[in-house]
Chains A and B, each alone.
Chain A
Amino acid sequence: MVTKTRANSLEVDKANYETLVQQVKPKPKVLRNSVLAFLMGGAICALGQICISFFKAQGLATQDAVLATSMVLVFLAALLTGLGIYNEMAKYAGAGMIVPITGFANSMVAPAMEFRSEGMVFGVGARLFMIAGPVLVFGIVAAWLAGLITYLCTLG
């Protein structure tokens, strides 16, 4: 009997605990995060569109205008990461500053700066690719597969 009561009270405690955890745990503010991510991501892409239009007006072909725009955005992101501004803003904007190409540049610069004390080769050189490495691995393998399938289709 005693053990049964014990078990019951434990169950109650567990249920209480769950509700307590739900109350205390900080809500991930899904709505606020989503709005901020949408606005910041949209703003970066709008800036990109302004760059593309500018480069096209300078006489660049569309593909080159897109490349030049990526270079401008990557440069700005590397600069802002170096100054410590990018990560400060990304705290609020979340995926809005991770998903654009600026987030890719940030993922290279931030760890490279942090591990600079480990030397130029294994500190800066290796850490530049801490996240960019996996991105390139999966991106290139997937693209290679897409190319292979296309090639096999042209044979058939």
Chain B
Amino acid sequence: MILKAFLVGGAICLIGQLLMDLTSHKITPGHILVGFVTAGVVVSALGLYQPLVDFAGAGATVPLTGFGHLLAQGAIKEAGQSGFLGIFKGPLSAAAGGITAAIVFGYLAALVFRPKG
């Protein structure tokens, strides 16, 4: 499973690197992050991402496409369970833990450390 995670995760990152290198520097890391999350949402909504998660584990959940998958599945599941309001609750409640961790740890790191130079 670790090998599968390595191969699939590496391949997803490789796609990002090729997008940056083969488009004459118009695509910045910011574009890559936004693009991969959105792509993850679309692929997940089409039902194609869960099979990849089942196959590669962290190789699919650790790249940002996995974050998009989390958002999309949250919306889709909640839409099925609690209807119209669920569409609004689903995305963030599914990703709440990760987003809160990123904000808290990010804030603390920016508070504690000084930039070099």
Contacts and interface: CB of A to CB of B under 8 A. Distances in A.
B58 A42 contact: no
A9 B111 CA distance: 60
Contacts of A119: none
Given A45-B6, A134-B34, A30 B18 contact: yes
Contacts of A38: 10-11, 13-14, 17
A108 B113 CA distance: 13
Interface of B: 1-3, 5-22, 29-30, 32-34, 36-38, 40-42, 44-45, 56-59, 61-68, 71-72, 74-76, 78-80, 83-84, 86-88, 90-92, 97-99, 101-103, 105-116
Interface of A: 28, 30, 33-34, 36-53, 66-67, 69-71, 73-75, 78-79, 81-84, 94-96, 98-101, 103-105, 107-109, 112-114, 116, 124-125, 128, 131-132, 134-136, 138-140, 142-144, 146-151, 154
